[in-house]
Amino acid sequence: MSDVSDLVLDARGLVKHFPITQGIVFRSKVGEVRAVDGVDLQLRRGETLGVVGESGCGKSTLAKLLVGLEKPTAGEIMVRGEDMTRLSGHALRRARRNIQMVMQDPYTSLNPRMTVGDIIGEPFAIHPDAVPRSGRERAVQELLDLVGLNPDHINRYPHQFSGGQRQRIGIARALALRPEIIVCDEPVSALDVSIQAQVINLLERLQRELGLSYVFIAHDLSVVRHISDRVAVMYLGKIVETGYHMAIYEQPTHPYTQALLSAVPVPDPRLRGHRDHIVLEGDVPSPANPPSGCRFRTRCWKAQPYCADHEPLLQIRQRAPHPSACHYAEVRDLLHRH
Amino acid sequence: MTPVTDIKAQMDVLPGLDPRAPLLHVDDLRVEFRTRDGVAKAVNGATFYLNAGETLAILGESGCGKSVTAQAVMGILDSPPGHVTGGRVLYRGVDLLKLGEKDRRKVRANRIAMIFQDALSALNPVYTVGFQLAELFRKHRGMSRASSKLRSIELLDQVRIPAAKDRINDYPHQFSGGMRQRVMIAMALALDPEVLIADEPTTALDVTVQAQIMGLLAELQHQRNMGLILITHDMGVVADVADRISVMYAGKIVEEAPVYDIYARPAHPYTKALLESIPRLDHKGRQLNVIRGLPPSLTDIPSGCSFHPRCGYAREICRGDQPPPSYQIAPHRIASCHFIREVLGV
Ligand SMILES: Nc1ncnc2c1ncn2[C@@H]1O[C@H](COP(=O)(O)OP(=O)(O)OP(=O)(O)O)[C@@H](O)[C@H]1O
Ligand SMILES: Nc1ncnc2c1ncn2[C@@H]1O[C@H](COP(=O)(O)OP(=O)(O)O)[C@@H](O)[C@H]1O
Ligand code: SF4
Ligand code: SF4
Ligand SMILES: [Mg+2]
Ligand SMILES: [Mg+2]
């Protein structure tokens, strides 16, 4: 098992609250959206941590905190022994080189008026010391080649590429500064099934060849299982269960993880009618006003009065062999025939 | 609860309608879009049928012509630039493509209904949900204000909108994504259609909400013995609910089969490759099999078999002028490929 020195990223107590304001001239704060509300996260060298959860649970906000695009309300992000949240100016820019991001939408995340060469080379302009000016075109062509695009297409524009190819451009840009860590926010969600596999395989090959660590955010639990070593399940700004992929998928203990897994259709008609289905009532509550105690209690079929005033901590429990934030956590298999 | 469909009333509105004819039979449908960039052949001879009480999934990747097929069946094609250039859409023996707009509108409201991926754009933002529902009953059923309101509440109850009595006064934007989808289902089912076409009805929703909506659709279909065409790219959803599957590629149905057969033993190279390229929830697989290249541009569809530039089985004959014939390989099983035996391994 890997030891602490393998840690490339160690985030503790991450919180991001967005103020809800009222009025235009005299803006007064009337509340806050608790998008991320106390998240710990560790990432080891060469490892992929998958983060799953439903829309609005705080996945993208977490991603932005990790790459320094948002400043946390509280918490620390240790990368190479430095707390990124305390850095500024030159030191912050240096630290950020090491942790890059790939975004969901290959259609809007690339500037349509820039050539592919300029897009992929942009990080070199921001960090002029990374590659000398004379070597930049070469470097961009190498990156294009690395992600499986034709290096001769360096002067083309994004609209001349397909969705999958645009996502490769986004990946090439993220790789430009030779980071150790890449945070991927729904990198294949907008792609077609046949193209998804191409991009997933590319990410896996790059990880093997370059020793990258990934935080892989997605709402598709099948894709996350395929690519992840460990998985964290988020609900309303908090991680409710985390562990190795086998633990999360084969032995889920949190009622929310169990409901999620039971809702995902499996492409095998023989399982029809042989799997347990847990149907959750209603929608996710607003993160501006999360329920007291356990945040999942308004949709939880196991909720007890105790859950309303005691917040469950994310920890190993008597019937939960890996960390689970439920007072009544207990293993239940939801993927296989019953 | 649901009024018994009045066959006589139907006969009145549609001359030539034969209640014993198949519910829906789409035969060699062709649709083109004529734009400045050329002619895009969106649907190229699509053929499929649907029986009462049955769920047919039309499975395909984005741009392969699923929505355009549905729009042509419904008679809501964006025209121009869209034109139906061939084929028949037979509803109980009547070719809908030959009907005038007035009759088509009647079929659309009463017999064949459709729900869309994006409920917000399908509902009118300036009227309350209750008004939009009641309007249907007043206009098409000549019901009074009071009874159409009652019927609207009943219907919202059926699609499990909590506190339906109060919510009929809300506007579409006041509902969550999943609730809006329910409202749209209620509107589509208001006049008791025999066919429901659902075009990616849960693609924009979270899995837990998707499960609620798919469960609701299955239940309503069962109660009403409705024929359901489920358009989707999600092989998981299909495995859960479909009776039969038609796989679409570049505007053509390339394989058609009962759901169990197609997952166990796909007969067309495209279907097989698709199944091998998806990650699985129930085990951590090996490296995914990739379908090389991209779906074709519809203004420039490859000759012969349109899948040939991406197909691992392709040989000279696949690149020729003639598309591969459709072979019947078992009852209800058809595939269009020169090398079916090889794909099936027989
Ligand atoms: N800049 C912002 N100002 C105010 N609220 C915000 C801001 N960014 C995000 N939020 C809110 O924070 C919550 C979490 O948002 P986030 O985008 O992180 O969710 P997500 O898990 O990525 O969802 P999705 O799956 O839809 O991408 C949401 O309620 C969102 O509306
Ligand atoms: N209004 C339109 N004008 C021009 N082309 C269109 C129009 N609607 C659809 N198309 C084209 O028809 C093809 C099939 O589209 P569609 O049926 O929407 O695909 P999908 O299978 O994703 O539903 C696509 O190439 C699309 O660009
Ligand atoms: S703590 Fe209570 S409400 Fe929360 S998940 Fe566990 S049983 Fe459900
Ligand atoms: S006809 Fe040829 S190219 Fe087309 S699917 Fe069959 S083997 Fe492949
Ligand atoms: Mg997001
Ligand atoms: Mg579509």
**A267–B291: do the CB atoms touch at under 8 Å?**
no
Residue B31 to residue A47: CA distance in whole angstroms? 49
Structure tokens, B246: 């038609």
pLDDT per residue, tens digit, chain A (338 aa), is 445 568 999 999 999 999 888 777 777 778 899 999 999 999 999 999 999 999 889 999 999 999 999 999 999 999 988 999 999 888 888 888 999 999 887 677 889 999 999 999 999 988 888 888 899 999 999 999 999 889 999 999 998 888 888 999 999 999 999 999 999 999 998 888 888 899 999 999 999 999 999 999 999 999 999 999 999 999 999 999 999 999 999 999 999 999 999 999 999 999 988 888 898 877 788 889 999 999 999 999 999 999 999 999 999 999 999 999 999 999 999 988 77
**B290–A201: do the CB atoms touch at under 8 Å?**
yes
How many Cβ atoms are within 10 Å of B284's Cβ, its own excluded? 16
Here the ipTM equals 0.86
Probe target for ligand 3 pocket from A238, A258, A294, A319, with the most ligand atoms within 8 Å of CB: A294
Which residue from B minimizes the CA distance to A199?
Answer: B290
**What is the A68 CA–ligand 1 centroid distance (Å)?**
16
The candidate with the shortest Cα–Cα distance to B68, out of B114, B125, B122, is B114
φ, ψ of residue A184 to 5 degrees: the values are -105, 115
AA identity, residue B156 = L
**A222–B259: do the CB atoms touch at under 8 Å?**
no
| Contact residues for A147 (Cβ-Cβ < 8 A; gap 6+) | A168, A169, A171, A172, A175, A202, A206
| Domains defined along chain B, listed by start | 4-242 (3.40.50.300), 257-344 (no CATH)
**Cβ atoms of residues B306 and B254 within 8 Å:** no
Residue A31 to residue A108: CA distance in whole angstroms? 31
**A193–B210: do the CB atoms touch at under 8 Å?**
no
| Domains defined along chain A, listed by start | 4-98+179-324 (3.40.50.300)
Q: How far is A291 from chain B (nearest CA, A)?
A: 18
A200 contact B CB<8A: yes
Q: Give the closest ligand to the alpha carbon of residue A62.
A: 1
Q: Which of A55, A197, A277 sits opposite B289 (nearest CB)?
A: A197
How many Cβ atoms are within 10 Å of B145's Cβ, its own excluded? 10
Residue B111 to residue B17: CA distance in whole angstroms? 12
Q: Which of B62, B179, B288 sits opposite A201 (nearest CB)?
A: B288
Probe target for ligand 3 pocket from A327, A330, A332, with the most ligand atoms within 8 Å of CB: A327
**A225–B233: do the CB atoms touch at under 8 Å?**
no
Please give the helix or strand (H or E) that residue A10 lies within, else none. strand A7-22
- Is residue B63 within 6 Å of ligand 2 at its C-beta? yes
A155 contact B CB<8A: no
